[in-house]
Amino acid sequence: MVGPQVSVVMANYNGAAHLGGAIAALQAQTLTDWELLFVDDVSTDDSVALVKRMAEADGRVRILIQAVNAGPAAARNRALDAAQGRWLAVVDSDDVQRPGRQARLLALAERTGARAVADNQLICDADLSLRAPPLTPAQARRPHGSTRRGSSRRTGSTRPCRTSAC
C-alpha cells in the first residue's frame, strides 16, 4: 500500500480552543495528499470530540489516544510509529499554516534532494496579527520543518510549544 506524500504529526493536550483552526488550515493546503495523525495526550477538554467530528468528514484525519499523559514527545513518537507518508511534518495543535506551505516545502525538498526542509515561523496573537516581526533571511535559513520519512530520529522534546504559527 502506498501512503500519502506527507504524514502530519499533531500532539495535543487540551488544545480544543485552537484545534479547529489548526486542522482547517491543514485542510486548506494546496497539497492534498496528506494524513493527519492526531495524538491526544489525555486531554480533559473537548479536543477529542472536536477532532472526531472533523475525522468523520475527512478520512485523512486519524485519531490516536494515549492511555496516560506522557507529554508531547511521547505523543509525537506514537504518531511517528503510525505514520505512512513519505515525508513527516510536525504541526502543533495551535498552529495555523498558509495554504501553500506543505506544497512549497515538498517542492523545495524534491528540487534540492534534501532530506529535511524548513520554513519560517511567525508568532501571532489569537487574531493572527503578528506578535513579532518575521525573521531576517539569515535567521530564516536555520532549519526546522518537514523531514523525509526514515531520516528522522524520535523526538526528545519535553516541553510543549505554546505559540501559534501563521
Q: Is the confidence at residue 61, as pLDDT, over 60?
A: yes
CATH of 6-148, one of 3.40.50.800, 3.40.50.10470, 3.40.190.10, 3.90.550.10: 3.90.550.10
pLDDT band at 164 (very low <50, low <70, confident <90, very high): very low
Backbone angles phi, psi at 111, to 5 degrees: -65, -35
b/e 89-121 (16+ beta carbons within 10 angstroms → b): bbbbbbbbbeeebbbbbbeebeeeebebbbbeb
pLDDT score of 116: 87
Predicted pLDDT at 31:
96
pLDDT tier for residue 136 given thresholds of 50, 70 and 90 = low
Task: Read off the pLDDT band of 117 (50, 70, 90).
Answer: confident
- The total of other beta-carbon atoms located within 10 Å of residue 53's CB is 13
Does this model's pTM top 0.85?
Answer: no
- Closest CA relative to residue 72, chosen from 152, 165, 164, 162: 162
Residues 87-109, mean pLDDT to the nearest whole number: 92
Domain segments of the chain as ranges: 6-148
- Residue range 66-94: average pLDDT? 95
**More confidently predicted of 43 and 2:** 43
